[in-house]
């Protein structure tokens, strides 16, 4: 998962994702893109640099969601 602190709701979305992942026995790795815009441009797989969930190399979502929507 990629995230940056540009949005105040990112923290809650990560908490929701981790709760669902825990229920499904999945591991969540969070990569923070917090240094500067070049880091987001070079290391992100998507133009959505605030929040992206990637599973097995595929972008699952770039929207911050509730637990039920992540499930």
Strand partners, 59: 54
In the predicted structure, residue 10 carries a pLDDT above the cut 70: yes
What span, in angstroms and rounded, lies between the C-alpha atoms of 16 and 6? 18
In the predicted structure, residue 11 carries a pLDDT above the cut 80: yes
Q: Report the percent of the chain where pLDDT is more than 90.
A: 20
Mean pLDDT of the chain: 80
Strands lying side by side in the sheet with 58-61: 31-32, 2-3, 51-55, 58-61
The per-residue pLDDT for 7 is 74
Q: Are 26 and 18 within 8 A, CB to CB?
A: no
pTM equals 0.71
- Domain range for 52 is 2-70
Instruction: Give 18-39 pLDDT, tens digit per residue.
Output: 999 999 999 998 877 766 566 6
If one counts the domains in the chain, the total is 1
Q: Are 31 and 44 within 8 A, CB to CB?
A: no
């Amino acid at each position: 998962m990629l995230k940056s602190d540009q949005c105040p709701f990112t923290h809650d979305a990560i908490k929701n994702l981790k709760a669902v992942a825990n229920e499904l026995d999945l591991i969540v790795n969070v990569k923070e893109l917090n240094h500067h815009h070049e880091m987001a441009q070079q290391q992100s797989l998507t133009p959505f640099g605030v929040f992206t969930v990637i599973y097995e190399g595929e972008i699952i979502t770039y929207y911050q969601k509730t637990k039920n929507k992540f499930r």
